[in-house]
């Protein structure tokens, strides 16, 4: 290959790689932090918060980024999903740094079921009969976190499969 052909090939590679180099290199790590548990009788409530670590590996700082989060809950009895909490926050992401942002607190409640012994068993009088009330309430199921700059998604993180399932709840694309 001649040096002129090699130079042309290198120039073409640089031009084609320019859009890739301009894409945001943001990494999100999300953890679910328990703030506290409270028990009142048969009901136990848990307050939690998302801790979101944003690692900007770009040389570019991002000003006025909108961070949106949605926390998903699962009903204990029928296993249906619902939205436990959501919110937005404007943040600035410095270049070549990692920052940590926390969501607003959200809570889940669970009521323990009861088992009662019924004295009279219609079918077998020699055996006891029980009435069972199952557990009820919600538990944590997952999250969706999206970073947007000027309406364009620059980074997102979600619990596996949650974006597809939550689409049915909200009716809009997450």
7 assigned to some structural domain = no
pLDDT tens for each residue of 103-133 = 999 888 888 888 888 777 677 777 777 888 8
Residue 3 lies in a domain: no
Residue 22 covered by a domain: no
pLDDT value of residue 52: 92
Residue 31 lies in a domain: yes
**41 domain-assigned:** yes
Structure tokens at 9: 């090939």
The string of DSSP letters for 36-56 reads EEEEETTEEEEEEEEEEEEEE
State the pLDDT at residue 22: 46
First to last CA, the chain: 50
Q: Which domain holds residue 88?
A: 27-110+136-170
Question: Residue 129 domain-assigned?
Answer: no
Whether residue 106 is contained in a domain is answered as yes
**Domain total of the chain:** 1
Q: The CATH number of the domain where 153 resides is what?
A: 2.60.40.10
Tens-binned pLDDT, residue by residue, of the chain (174 aa): 555 554 554 444 444 443 433 457 888 999 988 888 888 888 888 888 999 999 988 888 889 999 999 898 888 888 888 888 899 999 999 988 899 999 999 888 888 888 888 777 677 777 777 888 887 888 888 899 999 999 898 988 888 877 776 666 665 554
Q: Is 83 exposed, middle or buried, given 0-12, 13-18 or 19+ CB atoms closer than 10 A?
A: middle
Task: State residue 20's pLDDT score.
Answer: 39
């Amino acid at each position: 290959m001649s040096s002129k052909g090699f130079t042309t090939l290198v120039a073409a590679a640089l031009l084609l790689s320019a859009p890739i180099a301009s894409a945001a290199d943001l990494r999100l790590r999300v953890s679910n932090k328990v703030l506290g548990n409270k028990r009142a009788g048969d009901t136990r409530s848990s307050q939690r918060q998302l801790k979101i670590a944003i690692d900007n590996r770009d040389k570019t700082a991002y000003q006025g980024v909108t961070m949106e989060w949605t926390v998903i809950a699962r009903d204990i009895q029928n296993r249906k999903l619902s939205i436990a909490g959501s919110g937005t926050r404007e943040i600035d992401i410095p270049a070549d740094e990692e920052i940590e942002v926390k969501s607003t607190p959200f809570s889940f409640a669970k009521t323990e079921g009861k088992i009662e012994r019924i004295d009279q068993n219609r079918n077998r009088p020699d055996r006891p009969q029980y009435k069972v009330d199952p557990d009820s309430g919600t538990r944590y199921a997952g999250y969706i976190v999206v970073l947007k700059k000027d309406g364009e998604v620059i980074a997102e993180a979600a619990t596996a499969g949650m974006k597809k399932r939550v689409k049915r709840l909200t009716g809009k694309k997450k």
